[in-house]
Amino acid sequence: MPRQLPPSLRALGRVSLPDVVDVPTGRFHFVRMFKHDFFAATAMYEGDSGRAVLKVGRKADFLGLPLGWVGRMLTRRETAAYQRLQHLDSVPRYLGTWGGHGFLHEYVEGQPLSKHLVVPDDFFARLRAAVAQLHAQDMAYVDLEKPQNVILGDDGRPYLIDFQISWSLPRRFGGKLWPFRSILRSLQEADRYHLTKLQRRIRPDQLSSSELAESYRRPWYIRAHHWLTWPATALRRRTLERLDPNRADGERGALP
């Protein structure tokens, strides 16, 4: 059996996800776990209306510190993003909340994006259109650096999942003010940069020579972020290499 993360580094600690989940859209039964990392536990469920994904934010304490509020906050942010983007064909259907820490969305039949995956010729054109539609909602996806967050559906279309760290600041909280508008524009530019990187790795034949060259030039704010965070990132990776040697496609807490 693959070694799992210790309970202190799992979102639910020693607790397992429920066998049955009831939400306004129906009853769903546990099928299999996808991932259980520090911030969330994610699993497939199935009901009369089809398959769904349950994501439950952190509930367990860590080193004596209560972190349930973090799980509730991240769940509220992500459910708000799903609800706001329900008019987009590239976003799975939102199915409802579960408790204060969890929510369900439609399961997309398909495969996570990877450099070995063969995608249709129009895949990246559709994905760029989807990201542009998201940006039109005054949002930034932020996490396009992870190809696993993009699904190639069995229908050949791209789907975006995991809006846990997406950026969206409502007008009532100052979202239209200069500093926050500047942050939003930078994050949206980073989305486009990471999207071009994904395309370079999977369909470089569709990029011009100038676009290929541009995909190797990291924007200054991405370089600055890397420079500021690499010591903590390196320490985290070394620690997790010892604690979680079995990793799937670069995802910590993912179960094979």
**32: its two tokens:** 């299999």
Percentage of the chain with pLDDT > 70?
84
Amino acid symbol at 54: L
* Structure confidence at residue 215 (pLDDT): 86
pLDDT(1) > 50:
no
Least confident of 145-149, 197-201, 214-218, 227-231: 227-231
**115: its two tokens:** 């450099």
**Shortest CA distance to 13 belongs to which of 68, 65, 59?**
59
End-to-end CA distance of the chain: 10
- CATH code of 109-229, in short, is 1.10.510
- Binned at pLDDT 50, 70 and 90, residue 249 comes out as very low
Cα-based distances in Å from 249 to 107, 145, 253: 19, 13, 11
- The whole-model pTM stands at 0.85
User: pLDDT per residue over 152-166, tens digit each?
Assistant: 999 999 999 999 999
- Binned at pLDDT 50, 70 and 90, residue 176 comes out as confident
List the domain boundaries for the chain. Answer: 1-107, 109-229
Cα-based distances in Å from 211 to 43, 73, 139: 38, 38, 24
Q: Are 107 and 51 in contact (CB under 8 A)?
A: yes
Q: Are 112 and 249 in contact (CB under 8 A)?
A: yes
Amino acid symbol at 61: D
Q: Are 40 and 63 in contact (CB under 8 A)?
A: no
pLDDT(248) > 50:
no
Q: Strands 50-57 and 94-98, how do they pair?
A: unpaired
Pairwise CA distance, residues 148 & 193, whole Å: 17
Which residues lie closer than 8 Å to 235 by C-beta, 6 or more apart?
Answer: none
User: pLDDT per residue over 86-121, tens digit each?
Assistant: 999 999 999 999 998 999 999 999 999 998 999 999
pLDDT(56) > 70:
yes
CATH superfamily of domain region 1-107: Phosphorylase Kinase; domain 1 (3.30.200.20)
